[in-house]
Amino acid sequence: MTELRGRGIVPGVVEGEALVTHDAISGFGGIDVATGTVIEPRHELFGVCFTGKVLVFPGAKGSSGWSGFFQSTRLMGTAPAAMVFRVITTKAVLGAIVTRVPTVVEVTPNPLETIKTGDFVRVDGTTGIITILTPASGGGVSPNEKGPGAPHLD
């Protein structure tokens, strides 16, 4: 089991499948709150649903609607299960708080390199510890794999 350490900013513990992207995520014009799906055409996760996943991403970009859009995913039942991100911005931090899902930031080693899509992980937003419980397909997965049903990559 690999353990990563960071700073928890929204408390709570959750276990779930990781969804990792190296592209920053936009709220407004970037996600569809009704389906919990990334809709930005040039995004690595275009067409992919993050509902119930541990969303591992570099940070937030775009409009200040970011937090409101992720809050809407909570209200519509399409929210991710947890968030792990690199770049601390007001958009992403407030977004995590109002989405009310366990969130860890300032994680080492780099979660974007260490955690792979499909890994089954535990995120503890209280202690800031992330544990990779079961690596995806025995651990030999490319960083960008998105799992079954995912659309093409650019």
Partner 1 sequence: MKLTDEERGMRDGAEGEAVVAAMDLLIRYGEALGAERLVDTRNVAGTMTQPSPAKAKLVEEGGWARAYAVINLDCDREIEIPRMKVPTCQLQHGLGQDAAGLTAYPAQSIELQGSAENYFSERGVNILATCTPYQVGNLPVRGEHVAWMESSAVVYANSVLGARTNCEGSASTGAASLTGKIPYWGNHVPENRFATHVVRADVGIDTFQEWGMFGYFVGESVEEARPAVIGSLAQPDLADLKHFGAATATSGGVELFHMPGVTPEAPTLDAAFGGSAIPEPITYGPRERRWVYDMLNGQGTSTDVDFVLLGCPHASLDQVARIAQLLEGRRLHADTELWVMTPGALRTMADRNGYTRIITEAGGHVLTDSCPAMSKAAPPGTRVFATDSAKQAHYLPAILGIEAWFGTLDECIDAAVTGQWRGGLRA
User: Which residues contribute to the site for partner 1 (CB under 8 A)?
Assistant: 9-10, 24, 28-30, 33-34, 39-41, 59-68, 71-72, 75-76, 87-91, 93-98, 100
Q: Judged by CB, which is closer to partner 1: 112, or 136? A: 112
Catalytic hit among 26, 63, 72, 137: 63
Minimum CB distance to partner 1, residue 123 (Å) = 15
Residue pair 94/67 in contact by the 8 Å Cβ criterion: yes
The CA–CA distances, whole Å, from 18 to 52, 102, 127 equal 9, 13, 19
> Is 26 an active-site residue?
no
Decide whether 7 or 142 has the Cβ nearer to partner 1.
7
CA 125 – CA 123 distance, rounded (Å): 6
Smaller CB separation from partner 1, 10 or 18: 10
Helix extents (H) in 8-143: 66-76, 90-99, 111-114
Q: Where in the sequence numbering do the catalytic residues fall?
A: 63
